[in-house]
Chains A and B, each alone.
Chain A
């Protein structure tokens, strides 16, 4: 018996004495690959995770996060530094003449760029015949994804563009031109910060308009739509003003959802639902000038133009029009407010009780009548210029008023039925009211099983600060500290910390999800210390609020109980599923399961919406269900990204991949004091 040998590439056993020592599995894999027409135009197949892991033993390769004709990007972890990184592999097909030299020169220039809005290059080089760039990992989404998800309004565009300008101006000052500004390269991290990726990569790759037009494997790799006219002519012989043109295209697209093609209309005429200041047109059109000399000459000029418009609070005409109309319509607005003040409390009362008091009914009638009356008044005033019609109109309005009353008589019982219906629904939605204590403190909320108590609130960071209770009185239960959570707070915002105690939750309950209203930005966790020692069962959450806020509503969502199957798929290929489940429409993307070098399976699933607790399970070929041994969920914009590892299972052993979901049970702590009560200070 000879010693059995295995292939160093794939680990398959090597048959002795045949095939000239070649590995049959590797031969078949290569044999199955598509025949390429020519040496350099073969389609790029991203190396498998196992192959990348072999070439980069110092990294933990986690997943393939992007691929194109020019390369592939992997998410990886550097265990030594305990950080995530993005590993970009340049497709060998992209390597043309003089590539190695150009790669080294340009990558060096990129690695010198250090700006908060530019994805940093940590390292670059060649390993295992692959040219690579090791870059900062950005946890977020790119503009294209946000746009597709409907997350970009002109308002967001005005927030994002100045940040792009900062990054471009910095790079241009450093002598680096991006050359490929497009929505795919503008990333927004989870804190809303812009990060521009692939600076100067176009130059490294020698990308030109022709390459971009090339169709590889039936997929158009890209379009030259974002390229400045001079760049289309001479792709690599351009200056920083080409970036300004591309920025103009991105800006136009963010505002209108369209590309500025041919003889395009100014943005303000293409924006739906919201009117843009025409002065913004000037900014966009100047960035889009065909002649570089006519454009803005510096990215910083674009920024100051945009900001000057914002500074005047003249972002949209709609808002200005509202302001102008305000004076003209003051009486109407006041009357409407009075009416709302009377009507809405009664309406709420009416909706909350299946048997509203007669007072509520009468008040609603009166207020409804007032509404009709006020409406009549203004309609009459507008038409009163024609004196002869006034009396007739008055009579018509009186008739309308009567019809309104009659309609209410019909609507009221119907609404009552609706409200009863609503109570039944409320029970199934498991919205839990917060218990109001004798002293008016709303601090403890019951879940279907277990409860959550809002124990204390403090300024952020909390170390050494005093704590108060939800209603503002001082917290006397000890001295809390929050460790591991120190973040800077932008101007115009205040940050607070909330300590919750979570009791008696079932074992299968999810960790709580937090919501804050009014919210100014981020919310993050930490670890609470009580009297200097770890506070078990307590959770601390930090959040920011607008400076003007004195109270906030804090909501906690905990999911528990049985899971509902949302969608499932076979573990072959990538699948997108759209389905209705749990009262909403789901979009679920299953990526093809990846086998790790340890023969575990990593499954990536992206799903919408995010407001549910989700998990991925697999059913093996024998019908047995397996839960993931390692789970990771991140939300970027409207999508949840789930990356789960199933140990001891290979993709071939999996029969079904399932996405399951369950509702969060939300409890609300309304009116939590963001400042301690005055008397206590």
Chain B
């Protein structure tokens, strides 16, 4: 497969080191074959990004139970038989690949699966359906198309992972309080940050506040890029993917 050689050859196609071993490259590298690494990577990705799929199915009009079944069945099929034929058209983005696969699945297979007994003979991922249902019900989604809702949910899931990682890092360094004080500055334009205020709340000098905020923002960006990269084949697509995710929030 074409992508195999591209993805695994370090160098021109993978400008940043982290792309050599992103989960998605591992999966694509396996080319649908069931290497243990590829299976683990796919499971990891699916376990992370199942909620956007569930939200998409719900938004398509399925009730809660059917949506759970369909999502679970979709995973079972995807995990059992990684069909990567759709990849060429999806430019190596896991997000787009999953959605395209899901659409294909919903169009062709749901009636077959409906006939099966719920859960019968399927590989089940341990997913928290209850919280998914709660999240879906309370997420304001007025007038959102299923595709947009999917992208939005995807972005939120991805960011949640980034923020969780960032917070965990801060906690590990004993800077939990600093994180809680400064997390809001991750959302501001740099020039809109009042360092005097930061300095006062952290009880440090303005210069030190500047440096701390700058480091946190820098680390946030690194982690964000890393998480985005995990779902891509090509490092050059990170900016595109982030833009696409950002667009999900334009109304």
Interface residues of A (CB under 8 A from B): 1-2, 4, 7, 9-13, 15-20, 22-33, 35-36, 39, 42, 44-45, 47, 51, 91-93, 128-130, 599, 650, 652
16 A-B interface contacts by CB (under 8 A): A4-B138, A9-B187, A15-B139, A16-B135, A24-B249, A27-B159, A28-B249, A30-B186, A30-B221, A31-B162, A31-B221, A31-B224, A92-B191, A93-B191, A128-B192, A652-B247
* Distance (whole angstroms) from the CB of A64 to the closest CB of chain B: 14
* Distance (whole angstroms) from the CB of B208 to the closest CB of chain A: 11
The answer, yes or no, to whether B188 is at the interface (CB within 8 Å) is: yes
A15→B156 contact, CB < 8 A = yes
Cα–Cα distance between A31 and B187 once the two chains are bound (Å):
8
The answer, yes or no, to whether B184 is at the interface (CB within 8 Å) is: yes
Q: Which of B32-40, B69-77, B209-217 is near enough to bind chain A?
A: B209-217
B183→A20 contact, CB < 8 A = yes
Cα–Cα distance between A17 and B156 once the two chains are bound (Å):
11
- Residue on B nearest A595 in the bound complex, by CB: B250
A28→B246 contact, CB < 8 A = yes
The answer, yes or no, to whether B137 is at the interface (CB within 8 Å) is: yes
* Distance (whole angstroms) from the CB of B50 to the closest CB of chain A: 15
Could you mark each residue 57-78 of chain B with 1 if its beta carbon is under 8 Å from any beta carbon of chain A, else 0?
0000000000000000000000
Q: Within 8 Å CB of B159, what residues of A? A: 19, 22, 24, 27-28
Q: Evaluate whether A47 and B138 lie within 8 angstroms (CB atoms) in the complex, with A15-B156, A30-B186, A31-B221 already known.
A: no
Q: Which of B4-12, B16-24, B237-245 is near enough to bind chain A?
A: B237-245
Q: Evaluate whether A27 and B138 lie within 8 angstroms (CB atoms) in the complex, with A20-B167, A129-B194 already known.
A: no
- Residue on B nearest A11 in the bound complex, by CB: B251
* Distance (whole angstroms) from the CB of A200 to the closest CB of chain B: 22
Cα–Cα distance between A15 and B84 once the two chains are bound (Å):
32
Could you mark each residue 209-241 of chain B with 1 if its beta carbon is under 8 Å from any beta carbon of chain A, else 0?
011001001101110110000000000000100
Q: Evaluate whether A42 and B192 lie within 8 angstroms (CB atoms) in the complex, with A24-B159, A28-B245, A650-B250 already known.
A: no
- Residue on B nearest A25 in the bound complex, by CB: B249
**Residue of B162, B243, B250 with most partner-chain A CB within 10 A:** B250
The answer, yes or no, to whether B163 is at the interface (CB within 8 Å) is: yes
B155→A599 contact, CB < 8 A = no
B138→A17 contact, CB < 8 A = yes
| Contact-size category for B | 35 or more
- Residue on B nearest A15 in the bound complex, by CB: B156
Q: Within 8 Å CB of B126, what residues of A? A: none
Q: Within 8 Å CB of B187, what residues of A? A: 7, 9, 22-23, 26-27, 29-30
The answer, yes or no, to whether B202 is at the interface (CB within 8 Å) is: no
A22→B186 contact, CB < 8 A = yes
Q: Within 8 Å CB of B138, what residues of A? A: 1-2, 4, 16-17
Q: Within 8 Å CB of A13, what residues of B? A: 139-140
B251→A599 contact, CB < 8 A = yes
Q: Evaluate whether A29 and B156 lie within 8 angstroms (CB atoms) in the complex, with A13-B140, A47-B189 already known.
A: no
3 A-B pairs with least C-beta separation:
A26-B187, A4-B140, A25-B249
Q: Within 8 Å CB of B137, what residues of A? A: 1
Q: Within 8 Å CB of A39, what residues of B? A: 210-211, 214
**Residue of A15, A44, A45 with most partner-chain B CB within 10 A:** A15
- Residue on A nearest B213 in the bound complex, by CB: A39
* Distance (whole angstroms) from the CB of A671 to the closest CB of chain B: 60
Cα–Cα distance between A30 and B182 once the two chains are bound (Å):
14
Interface hits, B114-166 → A, CB 8 Å: 135, 137-140, 152, 155-156, 159-160, 162-163
* Among B139, B160, B188, B214, contact of A30 (Cβ-Cβ < 8 Å): B188
* Among B160, B193, B245, contact of A19 (Cβ-Cβ < 8 Å): B160
B163→A22 contact, CB < 8 A = yes
Q: Within 8 Å CB of B188, what residues of A? A: 9, 26, 30
Q: Within 8 Å CB of A22, what residues of B? A: 159, 163, 183-184, 186-187
The answer, yes or no, to whether B190 is at the interface (CB within 8 Å) is: yes
Q: Within 8 Å CB of B163, what residues of A? A: 19-20, 22, 27
Cα–Cα distance between A59 and B23 once the two chains are bound (Å):
50
* Among A19, A20, A24, A47, contact of B192 (Cβ-Cβ < 8 Å): A47
* Distance (whole angstroms) from the CB of A624 to the closest CB of chain B: 19
**Residue of B184, B189, B210 with most partner-chain A CB within 10 A:** B189
* Distance (whole angstroms) from the CB of A149 to the closest CB of chain B: 33
B183→A25 contact, CB < 8 A = no
Cα–Cα distance between A45 and B190 once the two chains are bound (Å):
9
A51→B192 contact, CB < 8 A = yes
